[in-house]
């Protein structure tokens, strides 16, 4: 009789553990599906824009993937308001904030938008877009290391700390975000 009670209680415990695991897996799948739905919606919007060249569409899709992945890792409650311009607009606890994603590989080998490093332009943008903060996110795609020396050198060279309210290091491949300032 004691053996049957122990067996049944172990069986119930295992069933509860299995239900918890299945619930967690379903939750993760639901989050992934929501992210995929959002990415598909944004990508379709970009691909349907007749004003964008193929290169511009590619850059915009990369920007949207960076934005969605950043939100997913950093703070899932961030709400994406606009991704049409270089500076994405999000809502964070009721406050509008702008995020600029800077891919060092791309920006070090190609000309980039100099106005994004202009104090006058950024102040004007904050006022016009009613932004409480501007965030600068250095994006890296490195599976091996988290060496931030190149990121810090870039930030220093372009006085990014003086222009943006928050600066982040974002290793896209490893899903790591670190606040630099």
| Per-residue model confidence (pLDDT) at position 164 | 94
| Per-residue model confidence (pLDDT) at position 50 | 83
Place of tokens 């106005």: 115
Strand order in the sheet with 79-82: 79-82, 87-92, 95-103, 133-140, 166-171, 176-179
CB atoms within 10 A of CB 67: 21
Distances (CA, A) of 16 to 13, 21, 27, 176: 5, 9, 16, 33
- pTM (whole model) above 0.95: no
pLDDT, one tens digit for every residue, the chain (181 residues):
444 445 455 567 777 777 788 777 777 677 667 767 777 887 787 788 888 888 888 888 888 889 999 998 999 899 999 988 889 999 999 999 999 998 877 655 444 567 777 888 899 999 999 999 999 999 987 766 667 788 888 888 888 999 999 999 998 888 899 998 8
Phi-psi region of 97 (alpha: psi -120 to 50; beta: other; left: phi over 0): beta
What is the rounded CA–CA span in Å between residue 103 and residue 140?
6
Place of tokens 């606009």: 82
């Amino acid at each position: 009789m004691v053996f049957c009670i122990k067996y049944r209680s172990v069986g119930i415990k295992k069933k509860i553990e299995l239900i918890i695991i299945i619930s967690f897996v379903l939750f993760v799948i639901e989050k992934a599906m929501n992210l995929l739905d959002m990415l598909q919606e944004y990508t379709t919007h970009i691909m349907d824009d007749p004003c964008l060249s193929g290169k511009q569409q590619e850059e915009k899709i990369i920007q949207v993937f960076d934005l969605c992945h950043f939100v997913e890792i950093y703070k899932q409650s961030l709400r994406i308001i606009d991704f049409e311009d270089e500076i994405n607009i999000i809502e964070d606890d009721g406050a509008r904030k702008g995020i600029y994603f800077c891919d060092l590989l791309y920006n070090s080998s190609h000309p980039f938008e100099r106005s994004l490093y202009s104090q006058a332009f950024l102040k004007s943008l904050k006022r016009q877009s009613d932004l409480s903060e501007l965030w600068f996110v250095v994006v890296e795609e490195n599976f091996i290391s988290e060496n931030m020396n190149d990121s810090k050198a870039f930030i220093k060279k372009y006085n990014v700390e003086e222009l943006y309210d928050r600066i982040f290091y974002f290793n896209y491949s490893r899903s790591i975000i670190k606040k630099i300032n």
